[in-house]
Structure 1
Amino acid sequence: MDSTDTAGDRAAGSATTPAERRREQRGWYVYDWAVSVYSTSVVTVFLGPYLTAVARAAADADGYVHPLGVPVRAGSYFAYAVSASILLAVLVMPLAGAVADRTGRKKPILAVAAYLGAAATTGMFFLDGERYLLGGALLIVANASLSVSMVVYNAFLPQIAGPDERDAVSSRGWALGYAAGALVLVANLVLYSGHDGFGVSEGTAVRISLATAGLWWGAFALIPLRRLRDRRLPGRTPAERASLGQGLRQLVATLRDMRRYPLTLMFLLAYLVYNDGVQTVISQASVYGSEELGLDQTTLILAILLVQVLAVAGALGMGRLARRYGAKRTILGALAAWTVTIGAGCFLPAGEPGWFFVLAAAIGMVLGGSQALSRSLFSHLVPRGKEAEYFSAYELSDRGTSWLGPLLFGLTYQLTGNYRTAIISLVVFFALGFVLLARVPVRRAVAAAGNPVPARI
Structure 2
Amino acid sequence: MSDQRGIADLEPLWRSKEQKAWYWYDWANSAFYTTVLSVLFAPYLITVAGRAAGCGSSADETCSRTVTVLGLHLAAGSLPFYLTSFATISSAFVLPVVGAMVDRSGRKRWHLAAFAWSGSFFAALLFFMRGDQWQLAAFAIVASSILGGCSLVSYYAILVDISTEAERDHVSSRGWAWGYLGGGLLLALNLVVVLLHDTFGLDKELAVRLSLLSAALWWAGFTLIPFRGLRDRAPTGVVPERGGLVRRSFGQLATTLREMRAFPMTLTFLLAFLFYNDGIQTVINVASTYGSKQLGFGDSVLIATILLIQFVAFGGALVFGRLAASYGAYRCLLWGTYAWMVIVVLAMFLPRENVVAFLLIGVAIGLVLGGTQALSRSFFSLLIPRGREGEYFALYNACERGTSWFGTFLFGVVFQVTGSYRPAIVALIVFFVLGAVFLLRLDARRGILEAGNTPPPRV
Instruction: Give the TM-score category using the shorter length.
Output: 0.7 to 0.9
* Preserved CA contact (<8 Å) 1:76 1:410: no
**Are 1:49 and 2:56 matched, yes or no?**
no
Alignment-derived partner of residue 149 in structure 1:
151
CA distance in 1, matches of 2:349, 2:28: 35
Query: What are the equivalent positions in structure 2 for 1:80-119 lying under 5 Å apart?
Result: 80-119=82-121
Please point out which of 165, 174, 177 is paired with 1:175: 177
Contact 1:325 1:456 in 2 (8 A): yes
Matching residue of 2:59 = none
How far residue 133 of structure 1 moved from its aligned partner, in angstroms, is 4.6
Q: Aligned AA for 1:179?
A: L
Contact 2:124 2:216 survives alignment (8 Å):
yes
Q: Distance in 1 between matches of 2:95 and 2:71?
A: 28
Q: Deviations over 1:256-303 (max 9, x none)?
A: 231221111111111122112223333444455556656544433321
Structure 2 CA distance for aligned equivalents of residues 154 and 446 of structure 1: 17
Alpha-carbon shift at residue 83 of structure 1 (Å): 2.0
2:447 maps to 445
The alignment partner of 2:231 has SS state of coil
Which deviates the most, 146-155 or 201-210? 201-210
Match of 2:222 in 1: 220
Greater CA drift, 120-129 or 385-394: 120-129
* Residue in structure 1 matched with residue 266 of structure 2 by the alignment: 264
Match of 1:10 in 2: none
Distance in 2 between residues matched to 1:56 and 1:425, nearest whole Å: 33
Aligned-partner Cα distance in 1 for 2:201–2:269: 52
Aligned to 1:242: 244
Task: Give the aligned partner of residue 341 of structure 1.
Answer: 343
**Runs of 5+ in structure 1 lacking a partner?**
7-14
Instruction: Name 1:12's counterpart in structure 2.
Output: none
Aligned to 1:34: 28
Change (3 A) 1:73 1:79: same
Q: CA RMSD in A?
A: 3.3
Counterparts of 2:113 and 2:350, CA distance in 1:
42
Query: Relative to 1, partners in 2 of residues 1:336 and 1:50: Cα closer, same or farther, differing over 3 Å?
Result: farther
TM-score relative to the length of structure 2: 0.86
Deviates more, 1:208-217 or 1:52-61: 52-61
Look up the match of 1:307. Answer: 309
Q: Distance in 2 between matches of 1:293 and 1:130?
A: 34
Once the 2 structures are TM-superposed, how far is the Cα of residue 429 of structure 1 from its aligned partner? 2.1
Q: Distance in 2 between matches of 1:415 and 1:257?
A: 43
Q: Percent identity?
A: 43
Tell me by how many angstroms 1:64 deviates: 4.8
- Of the structure 1 ranges 242-251 and 254-263, higher mean CA displacement relative to structure 2 is found in 242-251
Structure 1 residues 350 and 447: alpha-carbon distance in aligned structure 2, compared to 1, 3 A threshold: same
Give me the whole-angstrom Cα distance separating, in 1, the residues matched to 2:329 and 2:184. 26
Cα deviation 1:72-120 (Å, max 9, x = unaligned): 5555443333221122212321221111111211122212210122122
Q: Count residues in correspondence.
A: 445
Does the C-alpha gap of structure 1 residues 378 and 195 become closer, same or farther in structure 2, counting only changes over 3 Å?
Answer: same
Which has the larger Rg? 2
Structure 2 residue 19 is the aligned partner of structure 1 residue 25? yes
**Structure 1 381/35 Cα, relative in aligned 2: closer, same or farther at 3 Å?**
same
Q: 1:114 to 1:341 in 2, by over 3 A?
A: same
Amino acid at match of 1:324: S
Distance 1:347 1:72 in 2: 36
Q: How does 1:424-439 map to 2 (within 5 A)?
A: 424-439=426-441
Q: Quote the offset at 1:379 in angstroms.
A: 0.5
- Residues of 2 paired with 1:60 and 1:434: CA distance? 48
Render the CA deviation track for 1:409-453: whole Å, top value 9, x for unaligned: 696499679782765553322221121112111111001111111
Match in the other structure for 1:362 = 364
- In the TM superposition, residue 343 of structure 1 has moved relative to its aligned partner by 4.0
| 1:342/1:426 contact within 8 Å kept | yes
Query: In the superposition, relative to structure 1, how do residues 290 and 277 fare at CA in structure 2: closer, same or farther (>3 Å)?
Result: same
| Aligned CA distance change for structure 1 residues 417 and 191 (closer, same or farther; 3 Å) | farther
Find the aligned partners of 1:425 and 1:193 in 2 and give their Cα distance. Answer: 35
